[in-house]
């Protein structure tokens, strides 16, 4: 699959070349949807956010640098920012300023498919909600590792951190969250990232 993917050298063209965007979108749309439903349990919000994430990627592509990691890590970094700014997007919708509303493209079959995905991600959303009280810097790494199952290195590039910083923050975040989850009787996060 990766040999035909859009590599870092082509990424800056996704915003202006429909063929290259096509290849990029097909490679990542499923990952982006999974990313979104782990955080948002509302089908229409999920569709809106999926569209918004790709629009933001189109906007950001000319500024992409290889240091920002693989195209996947770069895209998930954008996705985090977009989902975290969900309120701002709703405001744009209210003012009629949005460029494209994903939820208007859903039909009944899509809705059923998306609902199934949303149901499957219930536990991830519980975790996501439990992270609310963590400081943003710690939360970013934990989200990407525990919810999106990125490696620590990938999570570091997606969050724009050095690997060693990411590792420290991950440990802190996990320790704090474990206490919360135990109090809430939710199964703690496994420690697999401790063994790289």
Partner 1 sequence: MTQQRTPGNNFEERLLARLKAEVAERGGAEEASAGGATTTPAWRRRAPRLALGAVVAMASVTAVLVFGAGGDNAPAAFAVEPQEGGGVTVKIYSLRDAPGLEQALEEAGIKSQVTWLPAGMVCREPHYTPSIVHLPGGGTLGGMTMGGPEPFTFGIGSTRQWRERMGEHMRGEISDDEFRSSTPNLNLDPEAFRPDQSVILSGSPVPYDGDPEGGSVAHMGIAEGPVEPCEPVPARPDSSGPYGLPGSARDGADYTPSG
Q: Which residue ranges make up the site for partner 1 (CB under 8 A)?
A: 3-6, 9-10, 12-23, 25-26, 29, 33, 47, 50-51, 54-55, 58-59, 62-65, 99-100, 102-110, 113-114
Distance CA 155, CA 176 (A): 19
Closer CB to partner 1, residue 31 or residue 163? 31
The count of C-alpha atoms lying within 13 angstroms of the C-alpha of 159, restricted to the half-sphere facing its C-beta, is 27
Phi and psi dihedrals of 171, rounded to 5? -65, -45
Closest separation between CB of residue 167 and partner 1, Å?
Answer: 30
Closer CB to partner 1, residue 51 or residue 181? 51
State which H helix or E strand residue 164 sits in: helix 163-184
Closer CB to partner 1, residue 22 or residue 182? 22
Closer CB to partner 1, residue 10 or residue 125? 10
Are 38 and 52 in contact by the 8 Å Cβ rule? The answer is no
Q: Which residues contact 115 (CB under 8 A, 6 or more apart)?
A: 43
Closer CB to partner 1, residue 17 or residue 149? 17
The Cα-based distances of 91 to 49, 76, 86, 95 in angstroms read 13, 23, 9, 6
Closest separation between CB of residue 32 and partner 1, Å?
Answer: 10
Closest separation between CB of residue 110 and partner 1, Å?
Answer: 4
Closer CB to partner 1, residue 94 or residue 133? 94
| Two structure tokens written together for 5 | 């993917």
Closest separation between CB of residue 145 and partner 1, Å?
Answer: 27
User: Rg of the chain's alpha carbons, rounded to an integer?
Assistant: 17
Task: Of 122, 155, 118, 147, give the one whose Cα is nearest residue 33.
Answer: 118
């Amino acid at each position: 699959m990766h040999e035909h993917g859009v590599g870092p050298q082509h990424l800056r063209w996704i915003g202006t070349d429909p063929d290259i965007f096509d290849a990029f979108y097909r490679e990542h749309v499923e990952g982006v949807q999974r990313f979104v439903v782990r955080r948002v349990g509302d089908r229409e919000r999920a569709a809106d956010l999926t569209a918004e994430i790709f629009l933001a990627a189109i906007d950001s592509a000319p500024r992409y640098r290889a240091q920002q990691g693989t195209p996947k890590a770069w895209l998930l970094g954008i996705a985090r920012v977009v989902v975290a700014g969900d309120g701002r997007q709703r405001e744009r919708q209210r003012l009629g300023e949005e460029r494209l509303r994903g939820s208007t493209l859903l039909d009944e079959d899509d809705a059923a498919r998306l609902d199934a995905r949303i149901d499957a991600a219930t536990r991830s959303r519980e975790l996501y909600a439990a992270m609310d009280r963590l400081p943003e810097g710690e939360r970013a790494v934990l989200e990407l590792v525990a919810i999106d199952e990125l490696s620590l290195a990938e999570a570091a590039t997606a969050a724009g951190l050095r690997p060693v910083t990411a590792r420290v923050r991950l440990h802190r975040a996990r320790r704090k969250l474990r206490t919360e989850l135990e109090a809430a009787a939710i199964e703690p996060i496994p420690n697999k990232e401790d063994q790289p």
